[in-house]
């Protein structure tokens, strides 16, 4: 029985392989116009790599066509650089913009080195381009879009492009070339080294030359390392500011800065900030203010930040934030919020560094032993007293600990008393 099945099975496998080979041959022989929107068409609002011409490109509308093996205009064969340049000299992009229709001018490029498969040639690229400076071009083999850049270390730059984790990081993921690499995959890109061993001072000039010559789709800056003709969004400005704050100087740079600002060279030499200046500095660094209300919901004072109040009342940042989020009463008497309860609320203490504010801080610190105070009322909601905790209420009222805890949590009546963890409206 097995011998009878062997021949039909082998015949079926052979026919299947033949079909695949013929289909691949057919697909490599047909052409089509661009049918897919590239990553460069996405709207970008984030940041750029410092030291490159990478940035954002506005959205473009694109006409698409459904793929069909019977539609000879349905698939582009751009698997290799030569076919990209010579077989598709009449390559047409089917999209519309408010400007002129232009295609990447890659046909006249004469690269020093060509890597047809960016991903598969990884090892060779990193070995051959180690410690070499130069100008490079990445070409999308699916749609013909390109990107021109330069680097003082080409191997290091290419290693970043081949690292998807690096590409997906917040500061990089919104760049057009990065979006394209993530969308199509590095194996669908060719790498061209346009010039080798370029002096650092000449890199900008050479990169700008190739950008203006090629007009690459994934570039929008008209000069290498510059922002000519480009305006950052507010979101990008904030992110760039954040990146600048996190920048780490080299030891040499630190030494030069220290030398330039040491002793009498320091503009703040023999001076000190006034109290008013210190207050302004603290307030300027604050993310949001903290409003302090008492248990009667009266606004007492406004502090500039969580950190400021946390340091003064010997607490920690997380505890204050939790009190703000959960709106629980703090140490039996105070509420912390980052917004006023009512827009017309006016603080009783106008200045958070005043003596009145110091007295308030002192009172809060005296109550540091209180976790949850218990407010007790009679059945007519007349206030009887406030206890530092369930244990104190238990001793005073001669009721069980669990009973008081249960009814205080519910704000309910038991034994002629109303128990609550918050002050009721008297």
Q: Is the pLDDT of residue 417 over 80?
A: yes
What are the Cα distances from residue 121, in Å, to 21, 23, 145, 205, 348?
25, 27, 20, 28, 71
Q: How many helices (H) and strands (E) does the chain have?
A: 15, 13
Q: What confidence score (pLDDT) does residue 338 get?
A: 84
Upper half-sphere CA count for residue 32 (Cβ side, 13 Å): 23
- Average pLDDT score over residue span 266-294: 73
- Average pLDDT score over residue span 34-51: 34
Which residues 6+ apart lie within 8 Å of 56 measured at CB?
43, 44, 45, 46, 48, 174, 175, 176, 220, 230, 236
Higher pLDDT, 151 or 14: 151
- Copy the structure tokens of residue 355: 């003596």
Q: Is the pLDDT of residue 97 over 90?
A: no
Q: Which of 123-132, 137-146, 336-345 has the lowest mean pLDDT?
A: 336-345
3-class DSSP state of 19: helix
Confidence band of 426 (pLDDT split at 50, 70, 90): low
Q: Which CATH superfamily is domain 39-234 in?
A: GIY-YIG endonuclease (3.40.1440.10)
Q: How far apart are CA 333 and CA 16, in angstroms?
A: 80
Q: Is the pLDDT of residue 302 over 70?
A: yes
Q: What confidence score (pLDDT) does residue 99 get?
A: 38
Confidence band of 69 (pLDDT split at 50, 70, 90): very low
3-class DSSP state of 25: helix
User: How do residues 191-219 score in pLDDT, each as one tens digit?
Assistant: 999 998 888 878 877 888 888 888 899 98
Higher pLDDT, 129 or 91: 129
- Copy the structure tokens of residue 122: 């990884």
Q: How far apart are CA 316 and CA 306, in angstroms?
A: 9
The C-alpha angle 224, 228, 229, rounded to 5 degrees, equals 130
* Residue 332, phi-psi category: left (phi > 0), alpha (psi -120 to 50), beta (remainder): left
Q: Which of 233-237, 298-302, 340-344 has the lowest mean pLDDT?
A: 233-237
Q: Is the pLDDT of residue 14 over 50?
A: yes
> Which strands sit side by side in the sheet containing 413-414, from one edge to the other?
383-387, 374-378, 417-420, 413-414
Q: What confidence score (pLDDT) does residue 146 get?
A: 94
* Residue 131, phi-psi category: left (phi > 0), alpha (psi -120 to 50), beta (remainder): left
What are the Cα distances from residue 223, in Å, to 44, 52, 194, 215?
19, 10, 16, 11
Burial 266-303 (b: 16+ CB within 10 A, else e): eeeeeeeeeeeeeeeebeeeeeebbbbbbbeeebbbbb
The conformation of residue 86, written as its DSSP 8-state character, comes to: I
Torsions phi, psi of 374, nearest 5?
Answer: -115, 125
- How long, in residues, is the chain? 426
Q: How far apart are CA 175 and CA 168, in angstroms?
A: 10
User: How do residues 246-269 score in pLDDT, each as one tens digit?
Assistant: 667 777 777 777 766 677 666 667
- Average pLDDT score over residue span 276-290: 68
- Copy the structure tokens of residue 161: 């492009």
Per the prediction, the chain carries an average pLDDT of: 75
Q: Is the pLDDT of residue 118 over 80?
A: yes
> Strand 134-140 vs strand 383-387: parallel, antiparallel, or unpaired?
unpaired
Higher pLDDT, 100 or 186: 186
Q: Measuring CA to CA, which residue among 288, 144, 164, 170 is closest to residue 236?
A: 170
- What are the domain boundaries of the chain? 39-234, 284-366, 374-420
Q: What confidence score (pLDDT) does residue 278 get?
A: 67
């Amino acid at each position: 029985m097995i011998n009878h099945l062997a021949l039909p099975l082998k015949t079926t496998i052979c026919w299947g392989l033949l079909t695949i080979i013929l289909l691949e041959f057919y697909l490599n022989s047909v052409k089509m116009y661009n049918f897919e929107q590239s990553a460069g068409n996405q709207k970008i609002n984030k940041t750029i790599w410092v030291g490159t011409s990478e940035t954002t490109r506005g959205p473009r509308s694109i006409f698409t066509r459904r793929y069909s093996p019977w539609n000879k205009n349905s698939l582009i064969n751009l698997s290799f650089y030569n076919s990209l340049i010579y077989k598709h000299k009449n390559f047409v992009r089917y999209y519309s913009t408010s400007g002129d229709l232009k295609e990447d001018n890659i046909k006249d490029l004469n690269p020093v080195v060509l890597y047809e498969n960016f991903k598969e040639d990884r090892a060779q690229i990193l070995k051959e381009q180690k410690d070499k400076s130069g100008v490079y071009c990445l070409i999308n083999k699916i749609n013909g879009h390109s990107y021109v850049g330069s680097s003082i270390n080409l191997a290091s730059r290419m290693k970043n492009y081949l690292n998807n984790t690096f590409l997906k990081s917040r500061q990089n993921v919104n760049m057009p070339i990065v979006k394209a690499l993530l969308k199509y995959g590095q194996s669908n890109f060719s790498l061209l080294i346009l010039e080798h061993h370029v002096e650092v001072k000449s890199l900008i000039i050479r990169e700008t030359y190739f950008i203006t010559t090629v007009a690459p789709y994934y570039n929008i800056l008209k000069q290498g390392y510059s922002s000519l003709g480009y305006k950052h969004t507010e979101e990008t400005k904030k992110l760039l500011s954040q990146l600048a704050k996190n920048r780490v100087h080299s030891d040499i740079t630190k030494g030069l800065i220290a030398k330039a600002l040491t002793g009498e060279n320091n503009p703040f030499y023999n001076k000190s900030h006034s109290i008013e200046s210190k207050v302004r500095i603290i307030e300027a660094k604050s993310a949001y203010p903290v409003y302090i209300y008492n248990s009667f919901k009266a606004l007492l004072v406004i502090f500039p930040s969580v950190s400021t109040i946390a340091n003064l009342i010997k607490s920690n940042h997380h505890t204050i934030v939790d009190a703000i989020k959960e709106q629980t009463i703090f140490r039996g008497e105070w509420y912390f919020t980052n917004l006023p309860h009512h827009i017309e609320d006016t603080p009783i203490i106008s200045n958070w560094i005043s003596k009145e504010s110091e007295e308030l801080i002192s009172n809060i610190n005296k109550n540091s032993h209180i976790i949850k105070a218990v407010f007790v009322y009679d059945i007519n909601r007349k206030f009887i007293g406030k206890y530092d905790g369930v244990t104190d209420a238990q001793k005073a009222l001669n009721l069980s600990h669990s009973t008081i805890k249960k009814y205080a949590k519910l704000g309910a009546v038991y034994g002629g008393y109303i128990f609550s963890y918050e002050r009721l409206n008297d």
